[in-house]
Amino acid sequence: MATYPSTANSRALPPGGRARSFLRRGQVGEDVAYLVTLVAAATIFLITSLIFYELFVQSAVSRQKFGFHFLFTQTWDPIAGNFGALPFIYGTVVTAALSLLIAIPQGLGSAIFLAELAPRRVSDSLTFLIELLAAVPSVIYGLLGIFILVPFLQARVVPVLKAVFGFLPIFQGVFYGVSYFSAGVVLSVMIMPFIVSVSREVLLAVPKDQREASLALGGSRWQTTWHVVVPYALKGIMGSIFLALARALGETMAVTMVIGNTPQIKASLLAPGYSIAAVIANEFTEAVGSLYISSLIELGLVLFVVTFIINGLARLMIMAASRGGAHS
Amino acid sequence: MTRSGAWKSVMNVLMFSLTGLCTLFTIGTLLFILGYLVSHGASALNWAFFTKLPVPVGEIGGGMANAIVGSAKVLLLATLIGVPIGFLGGVYLNEYAGAAAAFVIRYATDLLNGVPSIVIGIVVYTLVVHPMGHFSTVSGGVALGIMMIPIAVRSTEEFLHAVPNSLREAATALGASKWKTIVTVVVPAAITGIITGTMLDLARVAGETAPLLFTALNNQFWSAGWSHPTATLPVMIFAYAIAPYDDWHRQAWAAGFVLLMFVLAINITARFILSRASYAPRGMV
């Protein structure tokens, strides 16, 4: 809150003549301004609560019928009215994990380069470019995924992977293009800017004397970076990773377009699958019957709760990392 | 130099080169996306795209005029809903709220910011579409409006926070009441930043597809009005990209190009304006 000096026109002032009506007018304006902004702020709180409330209430039919089995059942059969979320949870987790596996090394590498090696001006402009990646709409990532990435993976990457790692169960089976693998790769590009830009900030916030102490002890620049600066900033880096994870779990369009939309659980990353957000996007408008709709809403509830927890953790870590730094 | 010393410098060069490679790869991805959309999208673009309605399956040509107008309508409504709430909430946070209230509102805002967009779509469906009985432009605007709130709050709060307290004290010393100080001194000092924040906010939701799938739905024709379904650019891109027709794919690229240019133009303009703002918070410029 911005601090104001105690003002002259508080209610305590002795009233009198014209000044009195002027002061009263000021006081009314004061109250109105306060109320209007308070109502707006309360609305934000209400909307957020309302989202949770609606998801909870509207998923009642499904929750009562299936209970916690909903989360561990593999069947998704709208005709028989049997709904289980496991294939979607599996697909969501696998694609998000794969995207982190690609984005963490690359993102952290970029952040280290931008924070430790690049001159500040160069680093700032490159970071701006990387942040533009976050501004690209997800449906455009989907478009590029379908028409560029999938054919590329099919022609170049997957044959090599199969030749080298084909003995592993995760790289077996026929590759049709749309798959967990394609979705994970698209997601990794989408979450990269979050990891790079937040990690770079926390790396830059590491005090100079930490670096100087290590260099004075004879550490090379890389040793200093890897053994001193990165551990010092680890909480903030973890925070950026959790932020990216929450993003990856909730991402809808790009995943829907390349994951294959098949409700099954396969060990192979090359098989088509499905994710929570994708099944909601595809089936919600066509769902008939309260059980079907409420099952889809329950999937939304699962997604909401999971991203809520992960975002909360991310925020705590980033707050802990930037303690004493800039405000907020 | 000892053996371990040599090893140390080799590692030094090797690892930093790897980090450079990572950066190159990340930047390269962006340049590739831009380059591909410009070369592929711009060539697919023609005048008809902006002026004609989509044509039935099998016919070549047509455009997405209805989707462009639809997107504009949905975004206008979203701005009218999201920006006032977000702006006033931000003013409350920075100028009025005590520590406890500020914590609660800030937490709610962060939470809202993290809600997956598809979930917002579901909730607006159950709250607006279902009671109204049909999909509508209005519900699409509501969904995107809710998505605009968190960024509007945060940018308002941050830019108000950057206004020095001496300005507030000066206004108070001249006899202005608190709300007059806010309206005539504090907000005007931060207005450039708040407006650019709003622009970035708009750019962010302009490409949102998921919350529109079951609110604004889609439409092959001109929307019959605010309470009827409408086409929007992002949903059209999705529908055309997953359809099996080559000419639709061409149109999807054209629409992708238009959407991306719109979003990037706003982002770059906002960055340019921000670098000249008089009071800007650290980290925003």
The CATH number of the domain holding residue B191 is 1.10.3720.10
Which residues of B are less than 8 Å from A135 in CB distance?
Answer: 203-204, 263-264, 267
CA distance B209 to B200: 17
CA distance A221 to A129: 26
* pLDDT over 80 at B263, yes or no: yes
Q: What is the pLDDT of residue A327?
A: 37
- Compute the mean pLDDT over every residue in chain B, rounded to the nearest whole number: 91
Amino acid letter for position A265: I
Q: What average pLDDT score do residues B193-216 get?
A: 94
- More confident of the two residues B59 and B248: B248
Q: What tokens does A32 get?
A: 């109105």
* pLDDT over 70 at A323, yes or no: no
pLDDT 10s digits, A222-247: 999 999 999 999 999 999 999 999 99
In a domain, B263, yes or no: no
CA distance A314 to A79: 40
The CA–CA distances, whole Å, from B166 to A37, A238, A249, B243 equal 23, 38, 45, 60
Q: Which helix (H) or strand (E) holds A76?
A: strand A76-77
CA distance B237 to B241: 6
Q: Taking the domains of chain A in order of start, what are their residue ranges?
A: 85-321
Calculate the dihedral angle through the C-alpha atoms of A142, A72, B117, B229, rounding to the nearest 10 degrees: 80
CA angle at residue B142 from B141 to B146, to 5 degrees? 115
Which residues of B are less than 8 Å from A251 in CB distance?
Answer: 116
pLDDT 10s digits, B103-118: 999 989 999 999 999 9
Q: Given an 8 Å threshold on Cβ–Cβ distance, is B88 in contact with A106?
A: no
DSSP state for residue A179 in the 8-state scheme: S
CB atoms within 10 A of CB A121: 8
Q: Given an 8 Å threshold on Cβ–Cβ distance, is B260 in contact with A109?
A: no
CA distance B83 to B86: 5
Contact between B77 and B147 (Cβ < 8 Å): no
Q: Given an 8 Å threshold on Cβ–Cβ distance, is A37 in contact with B153?
A: no
Q: Given an 8 Å threshold on Cβ–Cβ distance, is B95 in contact with A8?
A: no
In a domain, B105, yes or no: yes
CA distance B110 to B121: 18
> Which positions 141-180 of B are in contact with A (Cβ < 8 Å)?
146, 149-150, 153, 157-158, 160-161, 163, 165, 168-169, 172-173, 175, 177-180
Q: How far is A21 from chain B (nearest CA, A)?
A: 14
Instruction: Name which of B10, B24, B139 is nearest B70 in CA terms.
Output: B139
Q: Does A152 touch chain B (CB under 8 A)?
A: no
* pLDDT over 60 at A203, yes or no: yes
CB atoms within 10 A of CB B27: 16
Q: How far is A74 from chain B (nearest CA, A)?
A: 22
Q: Given an 8 Å threshold on Cβ–Cβ distance, is A39 in contact with B88?
A: yes
Q: What is the pLDDT of residue B274?
A: 85
Position of tokens 């006081």? A27
Tell me, letter by letter, the H, E, C secondary structure of A288-324. CCHHHHHHHHHHHHHHHHHHHHHHHHHHHHHHHHCCC
Which residues of A are less than 8 Å from B30 in CB distance?
Answer: 129-130, 132-133
* pLDDT over 60 at A122, yes or no: yes
CA angle at residue A298 from A293 to A302, to 5 degrees? 150
**3-class DSSP state for residue B137?**
helix
pLDDT 10s digits, B65-91: 999 999 999 999 999 999 999 999 999
In a domain, B197, yes or no: yes
pLDDT 10s digits, A258-310: 999 999 999 999 999 999 999 999 999 988 889 999 999 999 999 999 999 99
Q: What tokens does A182 get?
A: 């394609």
CA distance A258 to A182: 6
* pLDDT over 50 at A15, yes or no: no
Q: What is the pLDDT of residue A27?
A: 75
Q: How far is A79 from chain B (nearest CA, A)?
A: 22
In a domain, B139, yes or no: yes
Q: What is the pLDDT of residue B268?
A: 93
Q: Given an 8 Å threshold on Cβ–Cβ distance, is B12 in contact with A222?
A: yes
Q: Does A9 touch chain B (CB under 8 A)?
A: yes
Q: What is the pLDDT of residue A9?
A: 45
Q: What average pLDDT score do residues B37-54 get?
A: 90
pLDDT band at B15 (very low <50, low <70, confident <90, very high): very high
The CA–CA distances, whole Å, from B250 to A271, A307, B12 equal 28, 36, 48
The string of DSSP codes covering B1-35 is: --HHHHHHHHHHHHHHHHHHHHHHHHHHHHHHHHH
**The residue count for chain A:** 328
CA distance A262 to A324: 49
Q: What is the pLDDT of residue A16?
A: 46
* pLDDT over 60 at A142, yes or no: yes
Q: Given an 8 Å threshold on Cβ–Cβ distance, is B23 in contact with A109?
A: yes
Q: What tokens does A140 get?
A: 């455009």
Phi, psi of A323 (to 5 degrees): -55, 130
* pLDDT over 50 at A324, yes or no: no
Q: What average pLDDT score do residues B136-162 get?
A: 95
Q: What is the pLDDT of residue A264?
A: 92
Q: Under CATH, to which class is A85-321 assigned?
A: mainly alpha
pLDDT band at B2 (very low <50, low <70, confident <90, very high): low
Of chain A, the percentage scoring pLDDT greater than 70 comes to 91
Q: What is the pLDDT of residue A23?
A: 55
Lowest mean pLDDT among A98-107, A128-137, B79-88: A128-137
pLDDT band at B241 (very low <50, low <70, confident <90, very high): very high
The range of the structural domain enclosing residue B169 comes to 69-230
Lowest mean pLDDT among A104-108, A280-284, B9-13, B142-146: B9-13
Q: What is the pLDDT of residue A11?
A: 45
Count Cβ–Cβ pairs < 8 Å, chain A vs chain B: 298
- Compute the mean pLDDT over every residue in chain A, rounded to the nearest whole number: 89
* pLDDT over 90 at B277, yes or no: no
Q: What average pLDDT score do residues B181-186 get?
A: 93
CB atoms within 10 A of CB B88: 22
Q: What is the pLDDT of residue A197?
A: 93
Q: How far is B192 from chain A (nearest CA, A)?
A: 19
Instruction: Spell out where A183-279 has E strands.
Output: none
Number of domains in chain B: 1
